[in-house]
Amino acid sequence: MFIIETYFNLSDTWENTYTETTNGRPRLLSFSTEQEAKDRLQELIDDGQEAYNLGYIDTPYTNDDFRIREV
């Protein structure tokens, strides 16, 4: 099983904050294969680039902001 983690500078830690909301309740996402996690992460980065291009966020996401870890 694999998770996508985000780096937090303030605490100098990697944390799994990648969630999906179902019926108003967030749940942490995990992926059966590393490739599934990579594909989902690429979607996130692509969506972030689009949001940046449209002016919704100040800085686009990069691969350096995330990592995939086996759990």
Tens of pLDDT, residues 27-53: 889 999 999 999 999 999 999 999 999
Which amino acid does the sequence have at 31?
Answer: F
Beta bridge partners of 58: none
Rg value, the chain, Cα: 13
Whether the predicted model's global pTM rises above the 0.85 cut: no
22 has pLDDT over 90: no
